[in-house]
Structure 1
């Protein structure tokens, strides 16, 4: 973004302030429209400040002087798309992130899940699979994994491949282990992975009942009835209408009295679907769909 000089009579330049660039507005709008029309990835209703920041970083790192040049390149070169998606989708997570969230699931939600003969759990926006593996380990420790189908979805195919591999840098394992212990883990995290060559490879059995799928909360529809949906730190990047669209999708996807878990900075309070849910564990942003 360009800067200009702040002027006042007799005072000269007192500092530099940001100047709005209307051409950049047009370029960003056209780039997002092009991504939607060419590849069906819809970022048009993401929070503008966030998407602009990520697009600027992508343009600079990928080496394009303008958004128009970036648009032309990505329209004509499909191999550029995954690299751009890495900037537009946030891939920052860790296993058992916010351990109190997983402890609440273990202590307050699992007793309800035990009453079902079979379970379907959806990890929406699974990124590189850290949360998916957290759920798989928790369910295994609680004796529920063998009767559960886990759906792991994301719009980024590279992230889905990483999630399906179950491979993480070994220097991340210490944090993962601490989180697991704080979440009420009933075993050692080391029971679930093999370490070699600076990597931790998590056991394939954790992913034996996982369905990995490309799914967009912006454009796609309901695909199964779930007992639990976890979508954390995804909707903070959406504008309000898109948040309502996603929450409506979760509402339709949940079984009666099914559970929805959100991120620590997300809530349903201002959603058009708020009345369809009860706060079940308010401090951890876990909601229950009402029966009616």
Structure 2
């Protein structure tokens, strides 16, 4: 322990330990030469060390890869080395050289600027990339659109034919099967009428026209003004319907609240009337009892 300039105590042993760990860490991945106690030397790539083994005059154990015995003519020694662990009691020092990745940090080399850059500056600092010319894709096979009209696409059948994938999908697990023989005829007729009303409604026809016009637009690339007006008209109609529904809901809520208040008022008035009648009945009974008691008392005296 020693004092610093501010009068505080400094643990020099801890500082020395941190410096040792930092120096050993800087050697990771570098070519080093390890001087052994028997006078020979090893060369290899420094892979790691164990600081917990350091102490009692012993240096930390180290690990080398591609290690081999150093000779006078290292160029002639082209044999591949092997991984090795050198105990701290077997060597006296390690000699190595830190490469640029740490050298720049030690020498305080200039770092890339972190100031704000515009998009043009960022693009200018990067190498230009040549983009290939985009070519329109055209299918080799000709599609027969007329043959597909009115047919239903079965994805499970397509997967089975083209890819050999058999699906285990069971529709009965997700839907409720209906036995039409148990459903009355008038119910089925009513269901068909509802279906016709839905499919024949103005909205359904408008959407169908819109889809057809959008398909025509995709084919020739032009904007159909009739389709635009149709969409605007349909959206306006939906907005009006929604506002009408909101007003009806508000009116229903208000009417329900008014009726509920009226019912509560009637119940309260009825209860008050019952209380008045009960009180009046009790008063009459009390007067009758008093009159009967007075008559009996008078008869007893006579």
TM bucket, shorter chain: under 0.3
Q: TM-score, normalised by structure 2?
A: 0.14
Structure whose residues are more often helix by fraction: 2
Q: TM-score, normalised by structure 1?
A: 0.14
Greater gyration radius:
2
Structure whose residues are more often strand by fraction: 1
Asked which structure has the greater RCO (Cα within 8 Å, sep 6+), the reply is 1
